Amino acid sequence: PARRARRGVQAALRRMIDRFDPAAIEEELKSNSAIGNLLSGGRNAKLWELYQKRHRDIAQSAESSFLGEIGADFRDAYEEE
């Protein structure tokens, strides 16, 4: 059980970190905004806005349920063991 819990926590943490991967955020920006790609001066601002939104969404999810998405990731990884 302890080993299973540790793996669940590790997997949940890894998935959370992956959500904040700069390459993933850039890719999301590319797919969401063709005009954002044309305006390179606004690129950093758009990336920052996307990062802030992602952080806010995860924080709100954690407020509304036990650890929000992190808890769901933990449960999924724990059940895979």
Give the span between the Cα atoms of 35 and 43, in whole angstroms: 10
Tokens 């700069």 correspond to 22
78 vs 49, higher pLDDT:
49
| Cβ atoms of 68 and 61 closer than 8 Å | yes
- Give this prediction's pTM: 0.49
First to last CA, the chain: 10
CA dist 78 → 1, 16, 37 (Å):
9, 15, 40
52 has pLDDT over 70: yes
Region 9-38: mean pLDDT is: 74
48 has pLDDT over 60: yes
Q: Please choose, from the candidates 45, 19, 46, 20, the residue with its C-alpha nearest in 3D space to the C-alpha of residue 33.
A: 46
64 vs 66, higher pLDDT:
64
40 has pLDDT over 70: no
61 has pLDDT over 60: yes
